Structure 1
Amino acid sequence: MRVAVVGTGVIGASWTTLFLLHGHEVVAADPAPGAEERLRAAVAADQRRLSFTSDLAEAVANADFVQENGPERADLKDELFTVLDAAAPPGTILASSSSGLPPSRIQRACTAHPERVLVGHPFNPPHLIPLVEVVPGERTDEAVVEEAMRFYRSLGRRPIRLRQELPGHVANRLQAALWREAYSLVERGAASVADIDAAIAHGPGLRWALLGPFLNQHLSGGPGGIAHVLEHLGPPMEEWWADLGTPRLTPDLTRAIAEGVNDELAGAAEADLVAERDALLSLLLDAKNRTDHL
């Protein structure tokens, strides 16, 4: 299969790695100076099936699937998808990695075949994290959604289909809810940045890496399951909701968070942390793949 990767920054390079690891031919496109050199330095896979061009139309002219990873700006998406829609074969799916723009907005630039446009939003880095959020727009054909889901599954991904177009889709909204309260706790002076990170990384985050919020609640409810949890813990949880903060990212709060992160790092090299994180992610995913239900 010939896959075009449009935009070769961090996300595009990771998608390229994933496509190559699964045996696909990849043509990557990015007009930025030095983009090919940066891409080839970042791709952790055999590059014999990787070609590069700065011409977007050339990249997608013979593509079977297009994964777009341009900047998160509506005007730039319009420019990109005007070219992609005109140049790609009519049956080629145009998937955007957009983390927040609704696909119906992206489809406006596609006058030829808007029905083959959708969002295929990964989680960084896509070659490691299995989640892909598949979001159809108002004019997306159902067969296109099903084909995109099949393609992402063939890459070992775990695609989920969204039934509504929402700013930030689903996973980023869930993250934003957690960040909102984490920032509020810093603003209140209730806990340090390091302690908030520790509370998640050494507490519920360990279970969240295995099961989602509903199943974790269900398993904590014993024989009564989630119904028992909601009956007994629902009222106090509603009280907690009422007390959650509504912080604003003021200069003071932004500075406090940045200083807290620097204190937490305590001179540790970020590259080492990234390497350890990715190595542990690989071990965790391998272990999950050896289970029957996770």
Structure 2
Amino acid sequence: MSRLAVIGTGVIGNGWIARALAQGWDVVAFDPDPQAPARTQSFIDNAWASLTQLGLAPDASPERLTFADTIEKAVDGADLIQENVPERLPLKQEILAAIDAAAAPDVIIGSSTSGFKPTDLQQQCQKAPGRVIVAHPFNPVYLLPLVELVGGESTQTAQIATAQKLYQALAMRPLVVRREIEGHIADRLMEALWREALHLVNDGVATTEEIDAAVVYGCGLRWPLMGTFLTFHLAGGEPGMRHMLEQFGPALKLPWTKLEAPELTDELIDKVVAGCEHQAAGRSVATLDRRRDDFLVELLEVVQKYWPEAEGLEGRI
């Protein structure tokens, strides 16, 4: 039996909790908010139907969750620790230092940070800073399997290897990032699309609904199977990527991309908010979550059918 300690129970922390429970792990959580246990229980109740459809481990049970009243109690006896506090570097450094001081020195401490580098996260850790790594998941954590693992200056290869095995035991697909960089890999890609989408709304080129439709019915349909590079490899015909780059490469010099994000003015905020509210059409976030989860369960089954062993990348993704 394995035990996960979860520090911070917002959307991401609760996602880790639901995933670990579904895999038959014991989970001990800590959050200073007195409403955290009730919020987590509601989250698990909503996620459990999708997790059941995907398939639960024999010992899976929401009853395996307990809350501790201190960080020290939460991490005691943990096989893996996941930190999920708000994305503020001084706060993360403070909490990670407290976790590092309390946990056994060989226990991996993963941070769910979407942007900070692990070397910066390790700065205040004194006992075993190398075991503090980035372990960045994607929302909803209980369904999406990718976790980006990034080691810092103090991290040893063996610690990353241990982390890979632990996250694989949680039915994740670890992607080891070769060197640390702000935003890691997937978030940098998503931010590029998000930046251009904001420009298109800001410049009056398209509404939020039209931009989402362009992704859903266009590039988004190809990405779940092939991603970016293999998709463009096919665009070159039989010669593949080399022909594609020879044919379309010069166009990359054209000013198609704004490169910098637009100023987040009140006008742009109003446009984006109004567009999203129009798309939501009065449906609550909980209703949209349920719709998203139902879709992802079916999509994951299709992805697994066509990419069961991650095309030779097993152990890395």
Q: TM-score range by the shorter chain?
A: over 0.9
Partner Cα separation in structure 1 for residue 128 and residue 142 of structure 2: 29
5 Å matches for 1:18-29?
A: 18-29=19-30
TM-score, reference length from structure 2 = 0.88
Cα distance, 1:115 vs structure 2: 1.5
Secondary structure in 2 aligned to 1:262? helix
Tell me, yes or no, if the aligned pair for 1:5 and 1:67 is still in contact at 8 Å: yes
The 1:114–1:288 alpha-carbon spacing in structure 2 relative to 1, beyond 3 Å, is same
The 1:259–1:242 alpha-carbon spacing in structure 2 relative to 1, beyond 3 Å, is closer
The amino acid across from 1:272 in the alignment is T
Partner Cα separation in structure 2 for residue 149 and residue 142 of structure 1: 11
TM-score, reference length from structure 1 = 0.94
Partner of 1:192: 207
Identical aligned pairs, as a percentage? 44
Tell me the alpha carbon deviations over residues 204-239 of structure 1, each in whole angstroms, 9 at most, x when there is no partner. Answer: 111112221001111222211111111111112332
Secondary structure in 2 aligned to 1:290? helix
The amino acid across from 1:91 in the alignment is D
Partner Cα separation in structure 2 for residue 77 and residue 91 of structure 1: 20
Partner of 1:31: 32
Out of 222-231 and 241-250, give the one that drifted further: 241-250
Partner of 2:218: 203
1:72 alignment partner, one of 67, 81, 87: 87
Out of 235-244 and 184-193, give the one that drifted further: 235-244
5 Å matches for 1:1-294?
A: 1-43=2-44, 44-45=47-48, 46-241=61-256, 246-292=261-307
Partner Cα separation in structure 1 for residue 285 and residue 40 of structure 2: 20
Out of 40-49 and 53-62, give the one that drifted further: 40-49
Partner Cα separation in structure 2 for residue 128 and residue 10 of structure 1: 13
Q: Cα RMSD over matched residues?
A: 1.7
Tell me the alpha carbon deviations over residues 17-49 of structure 1, each in whole angstroms, 9 at most, x when there is no partner. Answer: 111111111111111111112112212452222
Secondary structure in 1 aligned to 2:81? strand
The 1:138–1:245 alpha-carbon spacing in structure 2 relative to 1, beyond 3 Å, is closer
Cα distance, 1:242 vs structure 2: 5.5
Tell me, yes or no, if the aligned pair for 1:184 and 1:245 is still in contact at 8 Å: no
Partner Cα separation in structure 2 for residue 67 and residue 4 of structure 1: 6
Aligned length: 294
Secondary structure in 1 aligned to 2:238? helix
The 1:175–1:279 alpha-carbon spacing in structure 2 relative to 1, beyond 3 Å, is same
Question: Which structure would you say has the larger RCO, counting Cα contacts within 8 Å and 6 or more residues apart?
Answer: 2
Tell me, yes or no, if the aligned pair for 2:80 and 2:166 is still in contact at 8 Å: no
Tell me, yes or no, if the aligned pair for 1:6 and 1:70 is still in contact at 8 Å: yes
Cα distance, 1:262 vs structure 2: 1.9
Partner Cα separation in structure 1 for residue 116 and residue 260 of structure 2: 26
Tell me, yes or no, if the aligned pair for 2:8 and 2:85 is still in contact at 8 Å: yes
The amino acid across from 1:221 in the alignment is G
Tell me, yes or no, if the aligned pair for 2:21 and 2:62 is still in contact at 8 Å: yes
Secondary structure in 2 aligned to 1:235? helix
Cα distance, 1:246 vs structure 2: 4.6
Partner Cα separation in structure 2 for residue 149 and residue 219 of structure 1: 32
The 1:245–1:167 alpha-carbon spacing in structure 2 relative to 1, beyond 3 Å, is closer
Q: What 5-or-longer segments of structure 1 have no aligned partner?
A: none
Secondary structure in 2 aligned to 1:209? helix
Partner Cα separation in structure 1 for residue 76 and residue 281 of structure 2: 50
Partner Cα separation in structure 2 for residue 271 and residue 50 of structure 1: 22
Partner Cα separation in structure 2 for residue 266 and residue 47 of structure 1: 33
Q: What 5-or-longer segments of structure 2 have no aligned partner?
A: 49-60, 311-317
Tell me, yes or no, if the aligned pair for 2:224 and 2:303 is still in contact at 8 Å: no
